[in-house]
Chains A and B, each alone.
Chain A
Amino acid sequence: MAKKRKWWSGLLVLSLVGVLFTGCSTNNTAGSSTNAPAATTAPAESATPDATEAPAADAPVDGGTLVTSTFSDIVNINPLMINDTSSGDVAQFVFAKLYNLDREGNVQAEDWSLAAALPEISEDGLTYTVKLKDTAKWSDGQPVIADDVVYTIETAKNPETGSPLTSAFDKVKSVEKVDDHTVKITMSQVYAPFLYALVQEIVPAHVLKDVKPAEMQKNAYGTDPAKTVTNGPWKWTAWKQGESHTLDADPNYWGTVKPHIAQVIYKIYADQNTEVQAIMKGDTDHISAIPVTQVEAVKADGKIDIIQKPGAQYEYVNFNFDGKNFPDGYGLFQGQKTRQAIAHALNRQGMVDNILKGVGALMNAPFLPDTWADPGDAAVNYDYNAETAKKLLAEDGWVADAKDGILVKDGHRFSFELQYNAGNSRREQVAAVIQQNLKDVGIEVKPKAIDFAAWIDQNVTPGKYQALLLAWSLNTPDPDAESIFSSKYFPPAGQNSGWYKNEKLDKLWVDGYSTVDQAKRKEIYKEVGKEISTDLPYVFLYQYGQAIGTGPRVHWAEEDAPEPSLGYGQFFHAIKWWVTE
């Protein structure tokens, strides 16, 4: 399970205020500067992947402050403990990683990476040798050495730490220091996605080595700026709880590429609406999630550059295959044709067009469109066709009830509850569309919004629900998804919360990560795509994304523009950005 996956938390995308008064757009956002060349930049038009509208790229200038913002405060930026996007955001600025991703999602040793070169992988695919740069330093002046890497991986692996990284390193058999700048990692089996686990921040062993693993979560490292020794271009100077973080360029930063921006303020707003107002006012320069409902209003304002492109996340309807969750133990989704019928009945393109305002791409398998593992036409595409759906349902033995038209089979009504998290307005709208679409073919859907914490605890983790509407956010570009579809990962221990079992797929997932040859892997995932889109443990809906907005003060060269398709891609190459007053 090297892949770090997260349910796209309802807490993070929750917006308390459902209504925004968007009627008044105005050119008069005083308070933002006017002497910048970028002030004349036209609003971005659309989502063509390579034509991100870079604010005017004159020569970079050093100094100045970038205000970027979010709508929930960090929890802990200790890389061993990061488990929420805000903490991850701040870590992007203050920590260097062993390796970094390039725009296409390939692992690279960049100037700002701690590793000097790509890892040497042994013939048998079982050992990875990582060479560190000998120039890298912690903010307290100590060098970054092999001991730090060894300590980080060992502590992450230790279950007592309770680290969310545990699963990323669970196939590591041992990690040892060869010399001060060389680390050898030995795997217990060939596991191709492991390369992405090395796109990882590390912690300073000299600071933390005496902390008991069970005490790590309570340690001030990661929550107290004064005690958090970092190794990135900026350092964490101050945290005003619930309000803002101050990140100052570290004068002793070791990289040869130095950051232009002297200070980054990471500001916390109450919700997305407040944040959108703030960028229009010029109080913040950069926001990473403009709700789709407000993108038009922001565009109309004219000052804000918008990068709109689906990100590394997709939404789905998950069927539960455990009969215990249904009346009389009669699982409604057992028939393959029934599931296919539901896929045909849903107007997925309509959801993309109307709810996502076009910024989304249909998916038929759990692989992001246009990545190397995308099976393309090999996966079955279910077009929106109520007649086909009805036909398939009839073939599977469902008969419309004479009274209310709801389908019945063996005396069981086709009526189920579709759960999603309360407060997510997009999911609310999608659930309503699903309800309507399925009503058209004789299936009764009862959408139910549940408070996030209660939902995860009582339904998702134990696998107790009938169907759910949820999303996966993919932290690495690797296609391996064994941990959510294999029967090895049934609840409560695993993420296959719908109790889906398909022996052919179980085996294919293992094959998929047991070779490091990408051409071979591509073939295997094509096969996965075919099988999974036929058998449908989920109805895969669409890849979606949030619009990134940037004010007129922020500049970058085109090759350094934010990249929405990468995790934390809103800050892609921020080290090379600059601001003007």
Chain B
Amino acid sequence: MTEYLIRRVLQSVLVIFLITILTFLLIHAAPGGPTQVMLAPGLTPEIFEQQAKNLGLDQPIHIQYFHWIGDLLQGDLGYTFKNHIAISDLLWPRIGNTIILMGAAWLVSLLIAIPWGIYNSTKVYGLSDQTASFISYLGFAMPTFWFGILLQQWLSLKLDWFPLSDMHTRGKEDSIADLFMHLVLPVTVLALGFLASYMKYARASMLEVLDQDYIRTARAKGVKERKVVFRHALRNALIPIITILGLDLPILVGGAALTENVFNWPGMGRWFVEMATAREYSALMAVTIVTAVMVVIGNLLADILYVVVDPRVKLGKQGGKAA
């Protein structure tokens, strides 16, 4: 298992390295550069050139890349072009804020979606199942920002039950209760979106398993329905769900630009859009790295969880999966 993990991590490092090269090239291929955004248009070309030189943007792209990767290897994510602020000072607080928001939404949706989806798989087309279907469609169909604004209008502006936007009330930055109140509306919006898909997956996955021969065998043997569902079906049904959760892990740091906008949450989604518009290459690269790392971690976690959930999966010394 350890050897398998090491091998996977090494592979991942190589993949991430290749991703950085590709992303670096792609980002620089976008028309317009930081100086066009920073400076008033129409200044003399000398000023643009001077500024590009001051920022090291006049160098060939491979040199710029080596500078960047060299700094990265020393743990330095670089600085913004427009005002020379350390990317790490900007990135980590935003990741923290995003994990709080997305993590809460994700947890809430999982805690509701999986048990409910499982329950519905046992009572297909019952009232509960129909309700869940309706909510799923709503979650898929409703634009998140629109739903967000709707909640703000009613629950904040009209009824004043919850704060309108932001993460904290000014002066109450340390209050968990205050943070919790600020989380309720955006988490509702985001969780509804997640809920829709997770519930569908849980239900479909269970239904597929419940239709298997071994379940029929178990039932034929006279095993109690409760035991059939939880002991025999659930563990198998969870495998595809784990895969999906693993793949979704990067969302936790990637954020959700639209929801963050509506609720003025200082998270990664908004920041990424801002940085892209301003052509802040180092910031964009930092986000790429973090996201790539999360993809790798998500996949690794999923692999490890397979072992826990599925007795058939063993991570052999060869590093592959032995069925």
- When chains A and B are docked, how far (Å) is the Cα of A517 from the Cα of B157? 56
Given A26-B157, A241-B93, also A17-B164 (CB < 8 A): no
- Nearest B residue to A301 via CB reads B157
Asked if B154 is at the interface (CB within 8 A of a chain A CB), the reply is yes
Q: Which residues of A contact B270 (CB under 8 A)?
A: 242, 270
Given A214-B50, A242-B90, also A461-B83 (CB < 8 A): no
Q: Which residues of A contact B42 (CB under 8 A)?
A: 5, 7, 461, 483-484, 489, 494-495, 497
Within 8 Å by CB of A21, from B33, B54, B82, B146, lies B146
> Which B21-51 residues have C-beta < 8 A from chain A?
30-33, 36-47, 50-51
- When chains A and B are docked, how far (Å) is the Cα of A461 from the Cα of B51? 16
Contact A167 B93 (CB under 8 A): no
Contact A277 B165 (CB under 8 A): yes
- Nearest B residue to A78 via CB reads B83
Contact A162 B54 (CB under 8 A): yes
Q: Which residues of B contact A16 (CB under 8 A)?
A: 257-258, 261, 273
- Nearest A residue to B257 via CB reads A16
Q: Which residues of A contact B39 (CB under 8 A)?
A: 83, 162, 164
Contact A243 B165 (CB under 8 A): no
A475 to chain B, nearest CB (A): 10
Q: Which residues of B contact A452 (CB under 8 A)?
A: 32, 37, 277
Asked if B71 is at the interface (CB within 8 A of a chain A CB), the reply is no
Q: Which residues of B contact A6 (CB under 8 A)?
A: 40
Contact A274 B277 (CB under 8 A): no
Asked if B94 is at the interface (CB within 8 A of a chain A CB), the reply is yes
Contact A19 B45 (CB under 8 A): no
How many chain-B residues does the 8 Å CB contact rule pick out? Answer: 62
Within 8 Å by CB of A274, from B38, B90, B262, lies B262
Q: Which residues of B contact A159 (CB under 8 A)?
A: 44, 46-47, 50
Q: How many Cβ-Cβ contacts under 8 Å join chain A to chain B? A: 173
> Which B129-154 residues have C-beta < 8 A from chain A?
145-146, 149-150, 152-154
Contact B157 A277 (CB under 8 A): yes
A206 to chain B, nearest CB (A): 22
Tell me which of A147-155, A278-286, A326-334, A400-408 binds B: A278-286
Asked if B160 is at the interface (CB within 8 A of a chain A CB), the reply is yes
A211 to chain B, nearest CB (A): 12
Contact A460 B37 (CB under 8 A): no
Asked if A75 is at the interface (CB within 8 A of a chain B CB), the reply is yes
Q: Which residues of A contact B37 (CB under 8 A)?
A: 11, 452-453, 456
Contact A269 B264 (CB under 8 A): yes
Asked if A265 is at the interface (CB within 8 A of a chain B CB), the reply is yes
Q: Mark A1-36, 1 if CB is under 8 A from B, else 0.
A: 000111100010000110111011010111100000
- When chains A and B are docked, how far (Å) is the Cα of A11 from the Cα of B36? 12
Contact B83 A166 (CB under 8 A): no
Contact B165 A274 (CB under 8 A): yes
Contact B50 A162 (CB under 8 A): yes
B40 to chain A, nearest CB (A): 5
B18 to chain A, nearest CB (A): 27
Asked if B84 is at the interface (CB within 8 A of a chain A CB), the reply is yes
Asked if B198 is at the interface (CB within 8 A of a chain A CB), the reply is no
Q: Which of the four size classes fits the interface of chain A?
A: 35 or more
B164 to chain A, nearest CB (A): 4
Asked if A504 is at the interface (CB within 8 A of a chain B CB), the reply is no
B167 to chain A, nearest CB (A): 8
Tell me which of A125-133, A217-225, A518-526 binds B: A217-225
Given A11-B277, A159-B47, A167-B43, also A75-B82 (CB < 8 A): yes
- Nearest B residue to A14 via CB reads B277
- When chains A and B are docked, how far (Å) is the Cα of A270 from the Cα of B270? 8
Contact B30 A75 (CB under 8 A): no
- When chains A and B are docked, how far (Å) is the Cα of A26 from the Cα of B82? 42
Q: Mark A231-252, 1 if CB is under 8 A from B, else 0.
A: 0000000000111100000000
Main secondary structure of the interface of B (DSSP, over half): helix
B264 to chain A, nearest CB (A): 5
Q: Which residues of A contact B226 (CB under 8 A)?
A: none
- When chains A and B are docked, how far (Å) is the Cα of A265 from the Cα of B262? 20
Q: Which residues of B contact A493 (CB under 8 A)?
A: 44-45
Contact B160 A274 (CB under 8 A): no
Contact A453 B277 (CB under 8 A): yes
Within 8 Å by CB of B153, from A24, A167, A494, A495, lies A24
- Nearest A residue to B277 via CB reads A11
- When chains A and B are docked, how far (Å) is the Cα of A452 from the Cα of B278? 9
Given A164-B43, A494-B42, also A17-B145 (CB < 8 A): yes
Q: Which residues of B contact A265 (CB under 8 A)?
A: 170
Contact B261 A214 (CB under 8 A): no
Given A5-B42, A164-B43, also A453-B36 (CB < 8 A): yes
Asked if A371 is at the interface (CB within 8 A of a chain B CB), the reply is no
Given A7-B40, A11-B277, A29-B157, also A457-B31 (CB < 8 A): yes
B2 to chain A, nearest CB (A): 40
Asked if B271 is at the interface (CB within 8 A of a chain A CB), the reply is yes
Q: Which residues of A contact B82 (CB under 8 A)?
A: 75-76
Asked if B112 is at the interface (CB within 8 A of a chain A CB), the reply is no
Q: Which residues of A contact B84 (CB under 8 A)?
A: 217-220, 223
- When chains A and B are docked, how far (Å) is the Cα of A76 from the Cα of B79? 14
Asked if B85 is at the interface (CB within 8 A of a chain A CB), the reply is yes
- When chains A and B are docked, how far (Å) is the Cα of A167 from the Cα of B41? 12
Given A241-B93, A270-B262, also A75-B157 (CB < 8 A): no
Q: Mark B153-196, 1 if CB is under 8 A from A, else 0.
A: 11011111001111000100000000000000000000000000
Given A83-B40, A278-B165, also A453-B279 (CB < 8 A): yes
Q: Which residues of B contact A274 (CB under 8 A)?
A: 165, 261-264
> Which A141-186 residues have C-beta < 8 A from chain B?
159-160, 162, 164, 166-167
Q: Which residues of A contact B30 (CB under 8 A)?
A: 454
Q: Which residues of A contact B164 (CB under 8 A)?
A: 277-278, 281, 283
Q: Mark A432-471, 1 if CB is under 8 A from B, else 0.
A: 0000000000000000000111111110110000000000
B173 to chain A, nearest CB (A): 9
> Which B45-62 residues have C-beta < 8 A from chain A?
45-47, 50-51, 53-55
Contact A5 B40 (CB under 8 A): yes
Q: Which residues of B contact A495 (CB under 8 A)?
A: 41-42
Given A214-B54, A451-B277, A453-B279, also A20-B264 (CB < 8 A): no
Asked if A37 is at the interface (CB within 8 A of a chain B CB), the reply is no
- When chains A and B are docked, how far (Å) is the Cα of A451 from the Cα of B154? 35
Asked if B260 is at the interface (CB within 8 A of a chain A CB), the reply is yes
Asked if B254 is at the interface (CB within 8 A of a chain A CB), the reply is no
- Nearest A residue to B42 via CB reads A495
Contact B36 A457 (CB under 8 A): yes
Asked if A271 is at the interface (CB within 8 A of a chain B CB), the reply is yes
Contact B157 A280 (CB under 8 A): yes
Asked if B117 is at the interface (CB within 8 A of a chain A CB), the reply is no
- When chains A and B are docked, how far (Å) is the Cα of A580 from the Cα of B262? 29
Tell me which of B41, B89, B164 has the highest count of chain A C-beta atoms within 10 A of its own C-beta: B41
Q: Can you pick out 8 interface pairs between chain A and chain B where the beta carbons lie within 8 Å of each other?
A: A24-B153, A214-B53, A223-B84, A242-B266, A271-B261, A274-B264, A453-B32, A454-B30
A-side residues, CB < 8 A to B, are 4-7, 11, 16-17, 19-21, 23-24, 26, 28-31, 67, 72, 75-76, 83, 159-160, 162, 164, 166-167, 214-215, 217-220, 222-223, 241-244, 265, 269-271, 273-274, 277-278, 280-281, 283, 451-458, 460-461, 483-484, 489, 492-495, 497
- Known contacts A6-B40, A30-B160; 14 further A-B pairs (Cβ under 8 A): A7-B41, A16-B261, A23-B153, A24-B153, A83-B39, A159-B50, A162-B50, A167-B44, A217-B83, A273-B149, A273-B262, A280-B157, A281-B164, A453-B33
B-side residues, CB < 8 A to A, are 30-33, 36-47, 50-51, 53-55, 79, 82-85, 89-90, 93-94, 145-146, 149-150, 152-154, 156-160, 163-166, 170, 257-258, 260-264, 266, 270-271, 273-274, 277-279
